[in-house]
Structure 1
Amino acid sequence: MSYRKATHAGSWYTDFVGELSNQLASWLQKADFIHGPARAIITPHAGYRYCGACAAYAYKQVGPAAVKRIFILGPSHHFSLSGCALTTTIKCKTPFYDLIVDTQVNNELHATGHFEWLALDVDEKEHSVEMQFPYIAKIMENYKDQFTIVPILVGTLSQDRQLRYGRLLLKYLKDPQNLFVISSDFCHWGSQFRYTYYDTSYTYVYESIEHVDRTGMNAIENLGPAEFTDYLKKYGNTICGRHVIGILLNMVQLLIEDTKKRPNLKFLKYAQSNQCLSTSDSSVSYAAAALTIQ
């Protein structure tokens, strides 16, 4: 039985329990409950000093009392994947308490033949999933014995594969006791990221970055996988979780086709790590969104 350590605690976020609890509570208190209860959220995964306040707007929309299982989908930053991979652990450590992995669902997904098992060392190096663990533990602290998690690492997926994984995960989205956490930052801008698109009709670079991001956010809110794909082709925006978002959009599209449900996705907060004033600057953008299903 393996156990996933919190390898980014102490660097990407504080591992002092009281300090972390107060920090998350403060951010959550400042965020309004305006689009929930969420069935899925899009939330960033950078260091909390950069994106923690933004992420709170997504987590604020969750109704914890109704949640029994949380799927956490994050992009693979360091390991080459052409599909999706599942954790081999049974517990994931957080500074608050351990999160229990739903091994039954893991086995169900692996049995489809479209998910591989993730080596523990690769699992522990990936921050896109781990950065969601403390927030999940915090919002679920009064219900910590009633839920399990299903972490899924997402690789570079073709449109067909995004649709395939959307179809495989659709039945879980249909269950109102399941919550999907979609982990993604938005534009990574600057020469170090090999992305320096700048619409010179804007005075400052950061204004152009926000325009590109918000154009993508609008496409995501429209819930059309094809529209989001066309947007990415046009702008090349370096949204690291674009394949993860693609899976969500395909799930939602299939849900609309299969049922009379009316999903609604809304972005609630946007932030940048730094306001780029010149082409020598760099920044990463963050956005928080929530999906409701009526």
Structure 2
Amino acid sequence: MVHCFLKLSFLSVILFISSTKAQSESPTHIVKFKSFVGRASAPAILLSHHRDFLSFVRKKNVSVNPLAQDLHLNRIDLGNNFNAVEGVFSDHAFLDYLYKQSTVEYVESNQVYKTTVVGSKQRRAEEEEEEDEGLEEDEDGLIDSGTDNQTISSTLKKGKPSNWGLARIHQRQRGDFEKYVFDSIGGAGIEVYVLDTGVYADHLDFGHRVIHSINLIMHEDENDMGGHGTHVAAKIAGTEYGVAKTATIRSVKVLNKLGDGSTSTLLKGIEHVIKSAKPGHSLINLSLSGPHSRLIDDALNEIVLNYNIPVFASAGNAGTDACFFTPSSNPNVFSVGAIDMEDRVPHYSDVGECAIRDLATKDVIYFDPEKSSSPNNNLPASHAGSWYTNDKKALDKELNLYIKKSVEEMTADGLQLPIKHVKAIIAPKRVFILGPSHVCATRECLLPNYDTYETPLGNLPVDWSVIEDLHKTGLFGLADSEDEINEHSIEMHLPFIYKAFEKTQKHCLSSRPISVTDKDHGIHLNRNNASSTIVRPIYESIQALDHQGIKAIESLSFDQFENYLNETDNTICGRNPIGVLLACLEEMKGDRSARCLKYAQSSKCRTLEDSSVSYASIYIQVVPEQ
């Protein structure tokens, strides 16, 4: 049976689809406990919290103690300073409950991390083809390479490199790439833990120096099915293409054949290194990238600072600021970017203060660009022409009619603007946009990856200085570029914002879009209205439930709004952005008030097969204390 869905949307016209997903065995979240919690007792404490939550919050009779396997709990142990448990937690209210427990330091969602690859066409546009000629003796080049003839040890060899990069990293100043000096026993006694897609150990270029250390990917064996890990390992320790030609590679498989991994697998990989590596003779390579993670940062800090195992990471190949991602943003990680044959930064390489700079004298590929102030790119109006018209004149006319109609309706109803004695609102110079994210799930708010938002009417600039200030707090993540293009919620606001301010301060207006995850946007009405007991039209029940939610928001109380959601199971689309707004308002000093200006339903549900979308426009005023 198709059930009637209740939706409540704020400020934008949005189409919603609700779907049901089976319970996954893959962990959804990781809970990090405070240091006083015993490492062995952490899973039991988490189960105790879950039992108390079911009993006292959900009011369920828990006759049998929940088992660890019911929540798919698994301990992650990185030592005394890092004690965490992963599990499958589908009830968001339980996550909120955990945040309030004295034993819990924080909770983080299990996020996706990917290989930092560059497409072959893109790379060929930046680099010449690699020459496959092998190493040859060459009598020249020692001075050009920055090495003194008089101090060459017996282990240094001269030859023709397999690619220009091998020659360049051994030169203080860019010289002849045909001349190459290398240490024939470079890397001897060193184990490099490559956390990647695995490594093809039988490749002849490794000379039996690859050890399959651990495989953390389900439904795949220890071998490299994607090729990325083998490629990385060959650059590190390959006989022909490698830098340290006698180092041992330890393969830690944390990414699948598609190059995808998770916070969970990455943490387990780091845990394995801690338990098996020899400090002073080991290092980690992470050629992967993903959203900011406090968990991964804490784990990397632990292994670097307390176990003395250095970590090297790719700065990234997204063509933006390396500080936007993990692990490249971690100050205790060596984050390395790319240069081309002319010592220029390729357009795909990530830059910024988080990336290594001025390391030519240490034989590391490096770059030293000036810090970019923004990504310098535009977010296209990807839903124009489908969700709304992309015709500039038609859209302008439509918005004019809407604005005129809303003013006429307010006047006819005798409504006044919420601000006392004010008959007009002057457009501000800054607009913060909080919108729900439908295409990705994260526990943190996401900042934009673009510096300009396009609309059919014109472009709206993003105030990148504010975005950078927010990002530096460490409390925000960065939205994936593709996810921003696919997301509709913030885009649907932009034409109205552009139109509303075009006659006032449009040219100095700047926006700060922030995405906040919302999931499971539907509510099945038959939870509250069984078909055999309906005594009034369904649309009236919808309206009554909507008005409860509106009153909860008008109270400007985060707790009251949260209680409404818990009691009614009404998953309002935008509930998380609204919650963030209410929490922010509670921190502000001054008089606060809110008023619902308009409420409507797209249609009237009369049977459980009907569907409807509800909309509300709520105005909030804050008068700061003088």
| TM-score interval for Structure 1 and Structure 2 normalised by the shorter chain | 0.7 to 0.9
Structure 1 residue 247 corresponds to structure 2 residue 546: no
- C-alpha RMSD over aligned residues: 2.2
Partner of 2:438: 77
2:612 aligned with 1:279: no
- 1:163 is aligned to none
2:424, 2:481 → 1: CA distance?
Answer: 29
Give 1:102's aligned amino acid: D
- Structure with max Cα Rg: 2
Q: In the alignment, does 2:402 pair up with 1:27?
A: yes
* 2:621 aligned with 1:292: yes
| One-letter identity of the residue aligned with 1:287 | A
Q: Aligned partners of 1:221 and 1:292: how far apart in 2?
A: 11
Distance of 2:443 and 2:540 partners within structure 1: 34
Which whole-Å CA distance do the structure 2 matches of 1:89 and 1:251 have between them? 25
Distance in 2, Cα, partners of 1:18 & 1:197: 45
Are residues 1:236 and 2:598 paired?
Answer: no
Residue 89 of structure 1: which of 436, 447, 450 is its match? Answer: 450
Task: Please give the secondary structure, in 1, of the residue aligned with 2:378.
Answer: strand
The aligned residue for residue 496 of structure 2 is: 135
Match of 1:48?
A: none
Alignment of 1:109-188 (within 5 A): 109-142=470-503, 143-155=505-517
> What amino acid maps onto 2:425 in structure 1?
G
Greater relative contact order (Cα 8 A, min sep 6): structure 1 or 2?
Answer: 1
Question: Is residue 99 from structure 1 mapped to residue 460 from structure 2 by the alignment?
Answer: yes
State the 1:238 CA deviation.
Answer: 2.4
Over residues 64-91 of structure 1, what are the superposed CA-to-partner deviations in whole Å (9 max), with x where a residue is unaligned? Answer: 43x0111111111111111111111111
CA distance in 2, matches of 1:114, 1:80: 16
Tell whether 2:552 aligns with 1:219. Answer: yes
**How far apart, in 1, do the equivalents of 2:499 and 2:612 lie?**
28
Alignment check: 8 A CA contact 2:518 2:573 kept: no
The structure whose residues are more often helix, as a share, is 1
Q: Give yes or no for the alignment of 1:208 onto 2:541.
A: yes
- Cα contact 1:188–1:284 (8 A) shared by 2: no
Q: 1:4 aligns with which of 379, 384, 397?
A: 379
Separation (CA, whole Å) in 2 of partners of 1:37 and 1:137: 23
Distance 1:132 1:196, change over 3 A: farther
CA contact (8 A) 1:82 1:156 kept: no
Letter in 1 for 2:508: Q
Relative to structure 1, the CA distance from residue 86 to residue 195 in structure 2 (aligned partners, 3 Å threshold; closer, same or farther) is farther
Identity of aligned pairs, percent? Answer: 37
Secondary structure at the aligned position of 1:104 is classed as helix
Contact kept in structure 1, 2:462 and 2:510, CA below 8 Å: yes
**Cα deviation per residue 1:6-64 (whole Å; 9 max; x = unaligned)?**
001011111111111111111111213633569xxxxxxxxxxxxxxxxxxxxxx9834
Q: Deviations over 1:190-240 (max 9, x none)?
A: xxx645444456521111011001001011111111111111011111201
Which runs of 4 or more aligned residues in structure 1 lie more than 6 Å from their structure 2 counterparts after TM superposition? Answer: none
Q: Would you say the 8 A contact 1:198–1:209 is kept in 2? A: no
One-letter amino acid of the structure 2 residue matched with residue 282 of structure 1: S
Distance 1:125 1:144 in 2: 26
Q: What is the rounded CA distance, in whole Å, between the counterparts of 1:237 and 1:188 in structure 2?
A: 8
SS at match of 1:29: helix
- Gaps in structure 1 of 5+ consecutive residues: 39-60, 158-186
* TM-score (ref. length: structure 1): 0.75
SS at match of 2:556: coil
Equivalent residue for 2:209? none
SS at match of 2:580: helix
May I ask how many residue pairs the two structures share in their alignment?
235
> Structure 1, residues 246-287: CA drift from partner, whole Å, max 9, x if none?
1111111111xxx2x211110011111221101111111110
Cα separation, 2, equivalents of 1:93 and 1:267: 29
Decide whether aligned partners of structure 1 residues 149 and 114 sit closer, same or farther in structure 2, where only a CA change above 3 A counts: same
Provide TM-score, normalisation by structure 2: 0.36
**Cα-to-partner distance string for 1:149-177 (whole Å, 9 max, x where unaligned):** 001010259xxxxxxxxxxxxxxxxxxxx
Letter in 2 for 1:6: A
